[in-house]
Amino acid sequence: MKKQSVFQGAATALITPLTETGVDFPKLKEVIEWQIAEGINALVICGTSGEGSTLTDEEHRETLKYAVEVVNGRVPVIAGTGSNDTAYAISLTKYACEVGCDAMLVVTPYYNKATQNGLVEMFTAIADASTKPVILYNVPSRTGVNIEPQTYARLAEHPMITGIKEANSNIAKIVETMALVGDKLDLYSGNDDQIVPLLACGGKGVISVLSNVLPKKTVELCEKYFAGDVKGAMAMQCEMFDLIKALFCEVNPIPVKAAMAALGFCENYVRLPLTKMEPEHEAVLLQCMREQDLPV
């Protein structure tokens, strides 16, 4: 039986507005309300773009709970609950389920890494503890470990593992994965410069950094593709390419935090080891935003 999809289209890997004293919850509410008004299909809270790795445990939990309350069922809330500490990932996953998050986004273990068997056992343990769907997040450039197609095929048998956020950039591996898993796992692009290519591989959408600043256009790109206008979707992909490139010219979420600050949604503040965007890079980013008619 086919598993139920968490969402189709564009989900924003949302920033977490921060100040020197902690999470700026009024600004987080403002960002969430704008995203929903712009038509976003889902929101990822406390992921990479949300600086989940440097939030305290209390901040992480409070932010998930607050986001669920603000969203109030209008779009799915996907909680970033991954860790290289499996016990902590399980604890956070259980909490996210309890407070009403609609799905989990669980990254591969970083630094300590894992064998493919280790990945299967870790993801299985987390999924066993979850009462909500689990989306696996594969981003080898950050974690140093890749989920292989045959491993996806094993994990696809778990009833709670329903999707993949794929950011390995290897189209051949992604095609191999989809050939093995069929409709058992939903595929989401984890790279904004590859949305249309991954949709062409059978993807359901994108978990996007770009949609922090251009939610409506990112949703429209996906809608065009699903309506059969592949050429129109690809034209949008190309038209936004310079902005996408600028959003990743330094490690995420440094540029997107600068972009959202320029739009008035947060302070331009990131926690160490991240630092503010280099001025010459920020100038390019702001110019790319102006070319997209953004008010900066």
Q: For the chain, which residues make up each domain, given as ranges?
A: 9-227
Q: Residue 2's pLDDT is what?
A: 72
Cα separations in angstroms, 283 against 248, 277, 296: 14, 10, 11
| Residue 47 dihedral angles phi and psi, to the nearest 5° | -90, -155
Q: Of these residues, 27, 165, 204, 224, which one is catalytic? A: 165
Which ranges of the chain have pLDDT less than 70? 1
- Catalytic residue status for 165: yes
Q: Are 161 and 185 in contact (CB under 8 A)?
A: yes
Q: Residue 1's pLDDT is what?
A: 58
Buried b (16+ CB within 10 A) or exposed e, 250-263: bebbbbbbbbbbbe
- Catalytic residue status for 225: no
Q: Write the DSSP assignment of 189-210 as a string of letters.
A: ES-GGGHHHHHHTT--EEEESG
Q: Within 13 A of 85's CA, how many CA atoms are on the CB side? A: 5
Amino acid at 109: P
Q: Of these residues, 132, 137, 188, 217, which one is catalytic? A: 137
> Of 105, 148, 110, which is closest to residue 127 (Cα–Cα)?
105
Does the 9-227 domain belong in CATH 3.20.20.70? yes
Tens digits of residue pLDDT in 36-70: 999 999 999 999 999 999 999 999 999 999 999 99
